[in-house]
Amino acid sequence: MNNDDYTRTGGTTSGSGNFYDNDHSATGDTTVLNTLTATLIDSVEGYQKAAADTTNERYAEMFNARAQERQQAVTKLQAASARLGGNPEDDGSTTAALHRGWINLKEAVVGRDDVAIVKEVERGEDYLKNKFETALANTDLPAEARSAVEEAWQSVRAGHDEMSQLKHAIT
């Protein structure tokens, strides 16, 4: 999947490509939390970019509200990572940042389109939903990490559903 301005579709993984890599130690647990945190940071940035780019005031308000909600989820995942002895992630992915540069160039040439923005936001929500479902399927995730992931999952699921409904309403 490609990265774009409104989504995170790259990931922080260990050598195998699986962010669990059969490591169920505190380090493995914080890797899961940090991977999800980086993904949520990209989501915050994507929503902020979408809010700035849309011409629809209602969409801008919706995107900004989601960005604020996601920032709260980021803060909680960072705190859980720190409590488990990890070094909390505080940045999004390099891949997503590089792709944002490409999208900015593309926008300069072809312009902005609210339907395209909503579709990309929804695509990012699909990716994020899958990341969280994978993390929640990890039966070895300790209670504290699982609790933090489940709390963030509420934001992810609500955002996914809202963006999916919006996409289907306008296309």
User: Residue ranges of the domains in the chain?
Assistant: 26-170
The tens digit of pLDDT for each residue in 50-80 reads 899 899 999 999 999 999 999 999 999 999 9
Q: Say if CB 150 and CB 136 are below 8 A apart.
A: yes
Name the 3-class secondary structure at 7.
Answer: strand
**Domain boundaries 26-170, corresponding CATH code:** 1.20.1260.10
Single pTM value for the model: 0.78
pLDDT of 24 over the 50 cut: no
Return d(Cα 44, Cα 138) in angstroms, integer. 25
Residue 120 has what pLDDT? 82
CA distances to 7, 46, 145 from 150, rounded to whole Å, are 21, 22, 9
Classify burial at 46, counting beta carbons within 10 Å of its beta carbon; exposed 0-12, middle 13-18, buried 19 or more: buried
Name the 3-class secondary structure at 9.
Answer: coil
Percent of the chain at pLDDT > 70 equals 73
